[in-house]
Structure 1
Amino acid sequence: MSFYTSLSGLKASQTDLAVISNNIANVGTTAFKRSDTEFSDLVSSSPLQSAGIAGQGTRLRGIAQQFTQGGLEASERSLDLAISGQGFFMTRASSSNAQVSYTRNGAFSVDANRFLVDSAGAYLQVLPTDSSGTVTATGISATRSVQLPLTSGTSQATQNINLAVTFPSAADVPSTRSVYTATNPYAFDRNDANSYNQSTTTTVYDASGTAFPMTTYYTRENIPSGATTTTSWTAHTFIGDTEISYDNSAATQPAPLTLTFDASGAMTAPSSAMTIGPVAPNGASAPLTFDLSYGASTKQSSAPFTLTSFDQDGFAAGALDNVSVGSDGLVVATFSNGDSQALGKIIVATFANPEGLRQLGDSKWGATGVSGEPIINEANSNGTGQIQSGALEQANVDITEELVALIQAQRNFSANAKAIEAANTMTQTIVQLRT
């Protein structure tokens, strides 16, 4: 009988060694929870049995998980999340209703379809919210996967352009440039910097929000002398690679704009807004038509050439710029146009008996009848922990404690082996007795 008693001790020590080895092996696993082995003694009992009997060894009563808080390690990713306190993140194996698992590993990322997923590709679950971030539905049936939108709002084509320019009175007429006339329409060449004085580049938008560079080249046409007291400048404007015409009656080449200034430098022409278009640069979803006006502050003076103001009313839909997660679990997306959008509140699930959860691997657990049904809550409420963005929970393994336990398990194994050796020696002695 002593052989089997010591054998149960050997098996128990082996199991203890296996659990300790698993703890040590996962010391670097994010949000890993260490386990302890629990043993109980074996005693053969019957109604008429006396109290003074020897036990029959030991048995494994269970392997208990220890859900103590692990240390938090800071990271530089806003989607690295840690729960400081009780609770688990809830994930699903697919974006639709599928197998549910619970984890403390908050290393989330964005997949090809812009869903937030964990390291195994399972979808992070959130509760729906309104625009202010208030939860609108609760319970597991209300949970959903969170998907990041690409844009926010709608785009608008440029319809009005208002600008103002200061032209230098000391500027020369380009030496390679002859005066623009109807019979000499090719005097300007945008690729020849000697054929114009200055250029400016700004941005306009088509109906789909595609941005196009709007480049205007300014050329001085004359210097006042004698009876001529006014100064003329011409403006050639390109949207993309397409030159716009300031005179829709021009039959062949796009007509530039002529700006005229009197002797004091005040602009005398154009005197009102001009309707331009339709202009169809390459890649535009639709031709652009807009009103363009040079403001009253456009002038010619002794100051250097300056684009003093430029305003246009077109814009693109906002592109996704950043994703942040608050301590209450609210996921907020911000966009390049200044919009922000609440995408939901991350679920924090708690259990009446978390030690009863079933291990699934990858620092995930599943609910069982022993653990109880999950209690779905928001972060930092009803006893749940708060969510910390830019941090990950480390394993709760104390390597020093595990090494001491390893020594103890080794000693237990050796002691049981010695007990078997002693029983074997006694058996051999009995067999060798002679009558």
Structure 2
Amino acid sequence: MSFFTSLSGMRNSQTDLAVISHNIANAETTGFKKSNTAFADIVATGGSTDPRLTPGIGSSVQGITQDFALGSLVQTGRGLDLAISGDGFFATSNVATGDLTFTRNGALEVQADGGLVDSSGELVQGFTVDATGTPTSTVPASINIPTANAAGSGLSNVSVNAQGLVSASYSDGTSEPVAQIALASFPATGGLRSIGQTKWEATAESGPVQYGNPGQGNFGQVRNGTLERSNVDLAEEMVGLLTAQRNFQANARALDTATAISQIVLNLQS
């Protein structure tokens, strides 16, 4: 029994090490959210077992949870670098499939055809607005910025304010509102599925996506010229790394001890 108990502890320490290593590897990844490992004990018992004689038979991984705490916001000076100061996600649509994903990485750029995309080339979602910049829709769509205005002047600059209003400036000195960036939230953020590239997708556990305007309700404001860094605390992760290593070593030593005791018993029998 002790062999399997120690083995479960070693396996769990390996899982803990893998999660911590992943956190450390992404300490400088924009918009990354760290994960934590939770464990549960395993008890060998039955309805008629004396509770005073109930042995434990090891532990198991109860779950790997994501920590969506806000990372530090750093200024970049680039107008289309956006960060959400508070809750919410940027919504993006895959150009080929139309699938929606969600991210905290607001490093955006304008394509040659006027599409506003994130760092992986997916189209940012937003609400249509009128000439005063007031949203006219509650259903987001891909943001496309006209590369020329009605007078034929070419696009010279794109800016975003704290309410997520995207404005286009043209070479003749005019500017006009184009769209308002839509922020997404979920009933249970911890249920989102990470799919890499600091993106998540909705699941049955997260609940359906809900869209809103930046700075309203529970949605945070949009800060331009700023990006959100990873929320990984390297000092905390290094302590966790040492703890996981010691746990692995302790379980390995317990396994060695169980092996030695078994060998002694076998020698006595022979």
Flag structure 2 segments of 5+ consecutive residues without an equivalent.
Answer: none
Indicate the larger mover: 82-91 or 142-151.
142-151
Q: What is the match of residue 144 of structure 1?
A: 141
CA RMSD of aligned residues (A): 1.3
Q: Structure 2 matches for 1:379-394, cutoff 5 A?
A: 379-394=214-229
Please tell me the residue identity of whatever aligns with 1:145: S
- Kindly provide the CA deviation profile for residues 232-280 of structure 1, in whole angstroms up to 9, marking residues without a partner as x: xxxxxxxxxxxxxxxxxxxxxxxxxxxxxxxxxxxxxxxxxxxxxxxxx
- Kindly provide the CA deviation profile for residues 262-313 of structure 1, in whole angstroms up to 9, marking residues without a partner as x: xxxxxxxxxxxxxxxxxxxxxxxxxxxxxxxxxxxxxxxxxxxxxxxxxxxx
Flag structure 1 segments of 5+ consecutive residues without an equivalent.
Answer: 155-316
Q: What is the match of residue 410 of structure 1?
A: 245
Q: Normalising by structure 1, what TM-score?
A: 0.60
Q: What is the match of residue 163 of structure 2?
A: 328
Does structure 2 conserve the Cα–Cα contact (< 8 Å) formed by 1:318 and 1:338?
Answer: no
1:16 is the counterpart of 2:16: yes
**CA distance, structure 1, for counterparts of residue 43 and residue 112 of structure 2:** 59
**CA distance, structure 1, for counterparts of residue 164 and residue 15 of structure 2:** 40
**CA distance, structure 1, for counterparts of residue 168 and residue 269 of structure 2:** 90
Does structure 2 conserve the Cα–Cα contact (< 8 Å) formed by 1:323 and 1:332?
Answer: yes
Does structure 2 conserve the Cα–Cα contact (< 8 Å) formed by 1:129 and 1:342?
Answer: yes
1:74 is the counterpart of 2:71: no
More helix by share: 2
Does structure 1 conserve the Cα–Cα contact (< 8 Å) formed by 2:95 and 2:122?
Answer: yes
Please tell me the residue identity of whatever aligns with 1:149: P
Report SS of the residue matched to 1:57. strand
Q: What is the match of residue 423 of structure 1?
A: 258
Q: Which has the larger radius of gyration?
A: 1
Task: Give how far 1:49 is off.
Answer: 2.0
Report SS of the residue matched to 1:56. strand
Q: Normalising by structure 2, what TM-score?
A: 0.96
Equivalent pairs counted in the alignment come to 269
Task: Give how far 1:336 is off.
Answer: 2.2
Task: Give how far 1:98 is off.
Answer: 1.2
Does structure 1 conserve the Cα–Cα contact (< 8 Å) formed by 2:45 and 2:55?
Answer: no
Does structure 2 conserve the Cα–Cα contact (< 8 Å) formed by 1:83 and 1:388?
Answer: yes
Task: Give how far 1:73 is off.
Answer: 1.1
Report SS of the residue matched to 1:318. coil
- Kindly provide the CA deviation profile for residues 290-342 of structure 1, in whole angstroms up to 9, marking residues without a partner as x: xxxxxxxxxxxxxxxxxxxxxxxxxxx32212111010001000112232221
**CA distance, structure 1, for counterparts of residue 101 and residue 161 of structure 2:** 23
Q: What is the match of residue 372 of structure 1?
A: 207
Q: What is the match of residue 117 of structure 2?
A: 117
Q: What is the match of residue 255 of structure 1?
A: none
Report SS of the residue matched to 1:42. strand
Q: Structure 2 matches for 1:4-403, cutoff 5 A?
A: 4-52=4-52, 53-94=54-95, 98-138=98-138, 142-154=139-151, 317-403=152-238
**CA distance, structure 1, for counterparts of residue 216 and residue 68 of structure 2:** 19
Task: Give how far 1:76 is off.
Answer: 2.1
Query: CA, structure 1 residues 421+337, in 2 after alignment: closer, same or farther (shift >3 Å)?
Result: same
Please tell me the residue identity of whatever aligns with 2:87: Q
Does structure 2 conserve the Cα–Cα contact (< 8 Å) formed by 1:318 and 1:339?
Answer: no
Report SS of the residue matched to 2:32. coil
Report SS of the residue matched to 1:94. coil
Please tell me the residue identity of whatever aligns with 2:70: Q
Please tell me the residue identity of whatever aligns with 1:102: F
- Kindly provide the CA deviation profile for residues 360-380 of structure 1, in whole angstroms up to 9, marking residues without a partner as x: 100000011111111100101
Does structure 2 conserve the Cα–Cα contact (< 8 Å) formed by 1:88 and 1:349?
Answer: yes
**CA distance, structure 2, for counterparts of residue 75 and residue 322 of structure 1:** 17
Task: Give how far 1:60 is off.
Answer: 0.5
Please tell me the residue identity of whatever aligns with 2:225: G
**CA distance, structure 2, for counterparts of residue 75 and residue 9 of structure 1:** 44
Task: Give how far 1:411 is off.
Answer: 0.4
Does structure 1 conserve the Cα–Cα contact (< 8 Å) formed by 2:133 and 2:177?
Answer: yes
Report SS of the residue matched to 1:323. strand
Task: Give how far 1:47 is off.
Answer: 1.9
**CA distance, structure 2, for counterparts of residue 398 and residue 81 of structure 1:** 22
**CA distance, structure 1, for counterparts of residue 45 and residue 55 of structure 2:** 11
